[in-house]
Structure 1
Amino acid sequence: MKILEVDELANIKSAKKRILVNETKAARNKSIKSKVKTCVKKVETAVANKDAAVAADALKTAIREINKAGSKGVYHKNTCARKISRLTKAVNEIA
């Protein structure tokens, strides 16, 4: 997913490497964030349909994915806590 060639931006070898490494990390972070968003959406859909059993299962999966993202440094720990808290609150309201 290179937008520009590395040679066009940087002249120094270490700068070229940083560009490549940053692209790799950005792709990884994007993948992890996408997975978290999908899990969150599944919980919210189940809550909207007032399906407590499905919502509880989806919540478990979402919490696991959010915590993984937090441990890998994709999200700040407080962001993870906030997301988990809001999802748990929503699921508990329909249960």
Structure 2
Amino acid sequence: MANTPSAKKAARKIERRTAINKARRTRVRTHLRKVEEAIASGDQSAANDALKTAQPELMRAVTKGVFHRNLAARKISRLNARIKALSA
């Protein structure tokens, strides 16, 4: 356990940050799950709409340091490819 006042404060800050990051990660996963469900149902327009709402959420998580930018780009790219494949 932290002994010095600065270490105690750091522990409090980390705890707050962790809660915020956890909420962000959960929100992103929820949006991604909605896109996955729309793709699974085969509804291309619903999948496009879901991706349009998920994309800014994912990129916001990147700017806040929750996800790496390459991970976000890869996920968006792969989801986009799967949505395009629905029309074929």
Equivalent position of 2:11 in the other structure: 19
Given candidates 47, 72, 83, the residue that maps to 2:39 is: 47
Q: 3-state DSSP class of the match of 1:74? A: coil
Q: Distance in 2 between matches of 1:92 and 1:21?
A: 43
User: What is the aligned partner in structure 2 of residue 5 from structure 1?
Assistant: none
- Larger radius of gyration between Structure 1 and Structure 2: 1
**Runs of 4+ in structure 1 displaced over 3 angstroms?**
none
User: TM-score by structure 1 length?
Assistant: 0.88
Distance 2:75 2:6 in 1: 37
Deviations 1:25-74 (A, max 9, x none): 10011000001100000000000000011100000011110000001111
* Mapping of residues 57-72 of structure 1, within 5 Å: 57-72=49-64
Distance 2:75 2:10 in 1: 31
> Once superposed, what is the RMSD of the aligned Cα atoms?
0.7
Name 2:72's counterpart in structure 1. Answer: 80
- What are the superposed Cα offsets for residues 7-41 of structure 1, whole Å, 9 maximum, x if unpaired? xx111001001100001110011000001100000
Structure 1 segments unaligned to the other structure (5+ residues): 1-8
1:68-95 Cα distance to aligned partner (Å, 9 max, x none): 0001111111111111111111111113
CA distance in 1, matches of 2:15, 2:78: 32
Aligned residue-pair number: 87
- Normalised by the length of structure 2, the TM-score is 0.95
